Amino acid sequence: MSTKKPLILVTNDDGITAPGIRALIEVMNEIGEVVVVAPDSPQSAMGHAITINNTLYCDAIVIDKEAPQKEYSCSGTPVDCVKMATRQILPRKPDLCVSGINHGSNSAINVIYSGTMSAAVEAGIEGIPAIGFSLLDYSMNANFEPSKKFVKNIVKNVIANGLPKGIVLNVNIPNLDRDAIKGTKICRQANAHWVEDFDKRTNPMGRDYYWLTGKFINEDKGEDTDEWALQNGYISIVPTQFDLTAHHFIQELNNWNLND
C-alpha cells in the first residue's frame, strides 16, 4: 500500500440521503478520499438495470457542509451511477468501490435482484475491487452504529489484499448489538428463493392492479451458507462472481443432438 490515501467511490440503491450510505461515507472518510455518486431516489430491486432509453442527470450536491467528500446525485440506477462515476466524474480509476449500507438483506438469491450488489458487480466488471454492504433491517431508522467497526475492518482487508479479477464481496450484517455480533464468516450463497404472492386490488377507475409481495423460503440446510451465518449471529461474506457460465454443464451439453 502506498502512503497516498486510496480513492473510494461510494454508492447505494436506497438513494443518496439514506442513513445507510451516510454511515458508510462516515467510515470511508476515515480510510480514504471519498467521492459519492448515488441515485437521487430509491432504486431498490433494480438489479443490473441501466438507462439506455432515457436521459440521465448527474449534479454535484452538498449534503453535509462539514464533511470532506465530494457528492453527486444521479437520476439513474445504481449501475448507471458507477458508470457515470468512472467515465465522467472521477479523476482516475478508484482504488475501491463500496455500495450500501443497504437497508435490508441481500443474502442468498437476493443478490440477483439487488441494486446495491449490482453496483458492486458493475465496479468489479470494470476491474475495481468492490464490496456491497447490507444490514438486515429494512427500516429507514435502522441503527448502523454496530456495523461501522466491521465495515471498516473488511474494507481495510480488501485494500490490503486486493480482490482477484472477477470477484466482488457481498457482505450482510445481522441486526444485532455490536457485542452480540460473533464476527465474520466466509459463506456460499444459500439456495433459497421467494414464493411470490400478488395482492390484487381495483383502482378507483375500476381497473385491476397488483402489488408484488412474497415470502422468502430457505430450504438450504447447509451451515456454510450466508443464511446460516446470519441466523447464528455472524456477518456473512460471500465472494460473488459475474461469469455466469455453468462450466460444469458444458461437457454434458456437448452430448445433446443440437445440430441435427
Tell me the binding residues for a divalent metal cation: 13-14, 44, 102
Least distance CB 66 / a copy of itself (angstroms): 27
Cell of 169: 464481496
Which residues does the annotation place in the binding site?
13-14, 44, 102
Find the angle CA(145)-CA(26)-CA(239) to the nearest 5 degrees. 75
Residue choice 4, 87, 92, 215 for contact with a copy of itself (CB under 8 A): 87
Nearer to a copy of itself, 209 or 223 (CB): 209
205 binds a copy of itself (CB under 8 A): no
Nearer to a copy of itself, 106 or 175 (CB): 106
DSSP class of 43? -
Hey, what's the cell of 9?
A: 467511490
Binders of a copy of itself in range 7-26 (CB under 8 A): none
- Of 170-189, binders to a copy of itself (CB under 8 A) are 170, 183-184, 186-189
**By the rule CB under 8 A, 118 interacts with a copy of itself:** yes
Q: Is 217 in the site for a copy of itself (CB under 8 A)?
A: no
Give 92-110 as a DSSP string: S--SEEEEEEEES---GGG
Q: Residue 116: CB partners within 8 Å, gap ≥ 6? A: 12, 13, 14, 78, 99, 100, 102, 106, 132, 133, 134
Work out whether 56 is an interface residue with a copy of itself (CB under 8 A): yes
Under the criterion CB under 8 A, does residue 219 sit at the interface with a copy of itself? no
Asked if 246 touches a copy of itself (CB under 8 A), the answer is yes
- Rule CB under 8 A: is residue 141 a binding residue for a copy of itself? no
In this chain, which of 17, 29, 51, 231 binds a copy of itself, going by CB under 8 A? 51
- What backbone torsions phi and psi does residue 189 show, to the nearest 5 degrees? -65, 125
The CA distance from 190 to 216, in Å, is: 12
